Amino acid sequence: MRSRILAVVFLSAFVIGTTFFIAPARSLSLLWEDQVASLGLEVTSSVLISGEQYTIVVSDRWWYSKPSEDNLAADAMYYTTNYTDSWDWVDNFAAPGGHSFLQIDGQDVDWGPFSNGDTNHTYSINYTGQDAALVFRTIDWVDGNYTNNECKLLVRIYGEHTVGGTIIDADLFGTSLYVVSIFAVILSVTFVTVFCDKLIARRVQRALFLAKWSTGTSSESENRFHK
């Protein structure tokens, strides 16, 4: 009986254990994109649904001192003071005063570590929708002069959605085998325990019979059973 119960527990645990490592396949879909010019003008996105998860991605760079100093460029978070290359920067500095060049709803954004030309000056953040649109604006924190600015930043907003199928954890089968191994040990111990219990019980019964037989107190049914 115990072995049957543990066998059921083993199979149930295997199914339940592997289920935790399987999740619906989800993907990011582009919901909105627009260019935010370096002229300080506001650009408004579509409404983002409350509670929904979004990824906001910004890329590219803009010039903050054209045309006199052609290679003085900035992106969403950093700027360069080197004239060598406006795409692959030789140096980079965070926007002055702890600000960001690209703001959302009039607030600075921490766009993360510096991204150079090899990664297209790309930055991203996660955002939870609030049933409202977002307002993007580029602020010139270097000289505050928008008349000598050129180019723009590309902003994209992605939303998550289920695409069907399942995503299986890379270690699903290794984890499952580990779980199986643990329960296999438990089952093995149980089987050995049950077998030993029966063997010990039979030997005790036989010892009691021999004790009775030696004293002449065993019954005829006991004599037939132990022959």
pLDDT band at 20 (very low <50, low <70, confident <90, very high): very low
Domain boundary assignment for the chain: 2-18+170-225, 24-168
Fold observed for domain 24-168: Jelly Rolls (2.60.120)
DSSP 8-state secondary structure symbol assigned to residue 64: S
Tell me the pTM: 0.63
User: What was the pLDDT predicted at 44?
Assistant: 98
Q: What is the residue-wise DSSP string for 136-192? A: EEE---SS---TT-B-EEEEEEEEEEEEEEEEE-TTHHHHHHHHHHHHHHHHHHHHH
Lowest mean per-residue pLDDT among 9-23, 82-96, 186-200, 208-222: 9-23
Q: Is the pLDDT of residue 132 over 80?
A: yes
Q: At what angle do helices 2-19 and 172-215 cross, to 10 degrees?
A: 170
User: What was the pLDDT predicted at 22?
Assistant: 53
C-alpha of 122 from chain center? 21
User: What was the pLDDT predicted at 71?
Assistant: 75
Lowest mean per-residue pLDDT among 34-38, 67-71, 82-86, 120-124: 67-71
Q: Average pLDDT, stretch 77-101? A: 94
Q: How do residues 157-185 score in pLDDT, each as one tens digit?
A: 999 876 665 555 445 455 555 555 665 55
User: What was the pLDDT predicted at 171?
Assistant: 53
